[in-house]
Amino acid sequence: MTKYPTGVECHGGSLRLWFIYKGKRFRENLGVPDTPKNRKRAGELRSAVCYSIKTGSFNYAEQFPESPNLIKFGGARIDVSLGEMVNKWLSLKSMELTKNALNRYTSYMNVCCQIMGFDTNLRTITNESLLAYRKELLTGFQFLGKYQKNRSAKKGRTVPTVNAYMACLGGMMKFAHDNRYIDINPMGSISPLKKARACPDPLTREEFQRIMAVSPCEQITNLWELAVYTGMRHGEICALAWEDIDTEKWTIRVTRNMAVSNHFTPPKTESGVREILLTQPAIAALKKQMPLTRMSRQHLVKVHLREKDKAREDFCTFVFSPRISSRNGQGGEWYSPGSINGAWNRMLRKAGVRHRKAYESRHTYACWSLGAGANPNFIAQQMGHASSQMIYNVYGKWMSENSVDQIGLLNARFTSYAPSMPQSNAS
C-alpha cells in the first residue's frame, strides 16, 4: 500500500492537500479519488506549492481558482454567471422583503437576465454594458449585440420604472462586490436618470359623479365612494372588515393591507396603522353597504407580519365581497386590488372621463380636503403618512394654485378677529 506523501490526506474518499501559508494551515480538496497514482501526483503538487510559497511566487487564486479560501486574501471567488448570482442574491434578500416586493425584484432581475444573458459571466459585465442595458429599458430597441439575437423591439419603459430596475440591479452588484465575486462594481458611477416630479391628477366633483353614475352595481359605488372620501389605499379597502369599523363613533381602524392577491399583511408602513375619522359621505357609503355584507359569514384569515415567518389570525367579516355582486354567486369572499382597478378603468371608459390611474382616488381625497381648508397634519394622519411633509412634497404645487381661497380666509379672519393693540402708558 502506497504511503501518503507529506501534506497529502484522504478526505471523504478524495485527496486533499494541507500546507502552511502566511502562518496558517490551509487545506484544499483536489477532487480526485484516492489511488496510489494520484497520491504521488498530489505529493508533487504539494511540494511545488510549498516551494512557490518559500520563494514568494505563490499566487493562491492562480493555483486554486475555485477555492473558498480566496475571500480570506481579498481575491475574487470562482466565476459565476449572472443568473446564478441573481438566484443567490434573491434567496438571501427574501428574508427582508415582503411578498409583493420580492415579486417585483424577481420580475426586474428576470428582465435583466433576459436582456444581458443568464449565462453571462458576472465579471465580464462592465459599466458600458450596464449603460446599454439601461438604454434598452428606456427605449425598448435592440442594440446590445450578441445579447439581442432574434429579439424584436419593444416599447420603452418610463424613467421612474427604469430607475427602479437599475436600483435593483445595483443592489445585486453591490452584494457581488462586497462578497468579492467581482473586483470592481461597474454600477459605482451610474446615477439615476433625472425625472420630473409627478403631480396629482385628482378628479373633479363633476367627473366623480359621472363615474359613479355608470357603476355596475351598488357595492362598487359604495367601494369607490369610500375610497375617495377616506383616501384609503386600495389594498386596505380590500382587507377592510366590519370588525374594524366603529359604527357609533364612525371611525375605521386600519390594521390590514393586501398588496398581493389573497395575501394579507399589515399596512404599507408603521404609520399606516391608524384610525380614520369618517366624513358624512364616507359614513353614507358604509350605511348603504351595511345591508349587503354586515351579516355575511365571518372568516379567519392569516395576516403575515413584518417579522419573517411571523403571522397573526384575524376574524373578518369583509365589507366588500365580490360574491354578492357576481351573476352566479360564485365570486370570492374578498376583492383583490387588481380586480377593483379593472372595474375603475371600465367605469372611466363608460363615463367618457379622461383616463387616470385608480390610485388617483387617494390623491382626490387629499386635494379635496386641502381645498376644503383641512390641516395638512390631519390629512397626513388620515392617509397614513408619517408626517405632513409628504403632503407638502406631493401636493405643494396644487396647494399653491388654490391659494386664492386662503387669501379670502385670511381677509375674513383679519377683519373679524383683529387683535387688540397694546396701549402706550400716558405720560
Number of domains in the chain: 3
Predicted local distance difference test score (pLDDT) of residue 150: 44
**CA-based torsion, 167, 170, 175, 176: positive or negative:** positive
Do 126 and 211 fall within a single domain? no
In a domain, 366, yes or no: no
What is the grid cell recorded at 318? Answer: 369583509
Do 14 and 32 fall within a single domain? yes
In a domain, 52, yes or no: yes
Last-in-domain residue among 42, 73, 104: 73
Do 52 and 91 fall within a single domain? no
Cβ within 8 Å of residue 285, ≥6 positions away: 221, 222, 223, 225, 226, 229
What pTM does this model have? 0.70
- Alpha carbons 123 and 125: distance in angstroms, whole number: 6
Rounded to 10 deg, the angle between the 205-213 and 337-351 helix axes is 100
Predicted local distance difference test score (pLDDT) of residue 423: 58
Do 67 and 102 fall within a single domain? no
Catalytic residue among 233, 234, 274, 363: 233
Do 45 and 89 fall within a single domain? no
Active site residue 194: no
Predicted local distance difference test score (pLDDT) of residue 399: 62
Cβ within 8 Å of residue 135, ≥6 positions away: 143
- Alpha carbons 194 and 191: distance in angstroms, whole number: 9
Predicted local distance difference test score (pLDDT) of residue 402: 57
* pLDDT by position in tens, the chain (length 427): 568 999 999 988 899 999 999 888 999 998 899 998 999 999 999 999 999 999 988 888 778 877 777 766 655 556 789 999 999 999 999 888 888 899 999 999 999 999 999 999 998 999 999 999 999 999 875 444 444 444 444 678 999 999 999 999 999 999 998 887 888 899 988 999 988 777 888 999 999 999 999 999 999 999 999 999 999 999 999 999 999 999 999 999 999 999 888 899 999 889 999 999 999 999 999 999 999 999 999 999 999 998 888 999 999 999 999 988 776 666 788 999 888 999 999 999 999 999 999 999 999 999 898 888 788 899 999 999 988 888 888 877 666 655 555 556 566 656 555 555 555 565 4
Active site residue 385: yes
Do 249 and 325 fall within a single domain? yes
In a domain, 47, yes or no: yes
Do 133 and 110 fall within a single domain? yes
Do 68 and 122 fall within a single domain? no
Predicted local distance difference test score (pLDDT) of residue 148: 46
Catalytic residue among 60, 362, 363, 365: 362
Catalytic residue among 229, 335, 365, 395: 395
In a domain, 384, yes or no: no
Catalytic residue among 46, 77, 356, 385: 385
Three-class DSSP category at 286 = helix
In a domain, 199, yes or no: no
Do 35 and 95 fall within a single domain? no
Catalytic residue among 177, 210, 268, 350: 268
CATH number of the domain residue 249 falls in: 1.10.443.10
Do 215 and 138 fall within a single domain? no
Active site residue 395: yes
Do 167 and 213 fall within a single domain? no
In a domain, 169, yes or no: yes
Q: How many residues does the chain have?
A: 427
Predicted local distance difference test score (pLDDT) of residue 145: 45
Predicted local distance difference test score (pLDDT) of residue 231: 94
Cβ within 8 Å of residue 259, ≥6 positions away: 98, 99, 100, 235, 265, 268, 337
Predicted local distance difference test score (pLDDT) of residue 307: 86
Last-in-domain residue among 358, 376, 403: 358
Last-in-domain residue among 307, 338, 358: 358
Active site residue 268: yes
In a domain, 354, yes or no: yes
Predicted local distance difference test score (pLDDT) of residue 78: 62
The DSSP output letter for 182 is S
Do 116 and 216 fall within a single domain? no
Alpha helices in 140-247 (DSSP H): 159-178, 205-213, 218-230, 234-238
Active site residue 362: yes
In a domain, 30, yes or no: yes
| 49, 17 Cβ separation under 8 angstroms | yes
- Boundaries of domain holding 310: 206-358
| 217, 359 Cβ separation under 8 angstroms | no
